[in-house]
Chains A and B, each alone.
Chain A
Amino acid sequence: GQQVMQIPQYQHVQEGEDFTTYCNSSTTLSNIQWYKQRPGGHPVFLIQLVKSGEVKKQKRLTFQFGEAKKNSSLHITATQTTDVGTYFCAVNQAGTALIFGKGTTLSVSS
Chain B
Amino acid sequence: EADIYQTPRYLVIGTGKKITLECSQTMGHDKMYWYQQDPGMELHLIHYSYGVNSTEKGDLSSESTVSRIRTEHFPLTLESARPSHTSQYLCASSDIAGGWETQYFGPGTRLLVL
Contact = CB atoms under 8 A, between A and B. Distances in A.
B64 interface: no
Contacts of A100: 42-43
Contacts of B105: 42-44
Interface in A74-103: 86, 88, 90, 92, 97-98, 100-103
Contact of A92 (B45, B90, B92, B101): B101
Interface residues of A, number: 23
A41 B39 CA distance: 9
Given A39-B40, A97-B48, A100-B42, A90 B103 contact: yes
B94 A98 contact: yes
A33 interface: yes
Contact of A42 (B41, B42, B94, B107): B107
A98 B104 contact: no
Contacts, number: 48
Contact of B43 (A41, A45, A50, A88): A88
B31 to A, nearest CB: 8
Contacts of B74: none
Contact of B108 (A31, A42, A86, A97): A42
- By secondary structure, the A interface counts as loop
**Which of B42, B58, B94 has the most CB atoms of chain A within a 10 A radius of its CB?**
B42
A105 interface: yes
Contacts of B100: 31, 48, 50, 92
Interface in B96-114: 100-108
Contacts of B42: 100-103
A79 B92 CA distance: 29
Contact of A45 (B33, B58, B90, B104): B104
10 smallest beta-carbon distances between A and B, as pairs: A42-B105, A102-B42, A97-B48, A100-B43, A105-B40, A43-B105, A45-B102, A92-B101, A42-B108, A86-B40
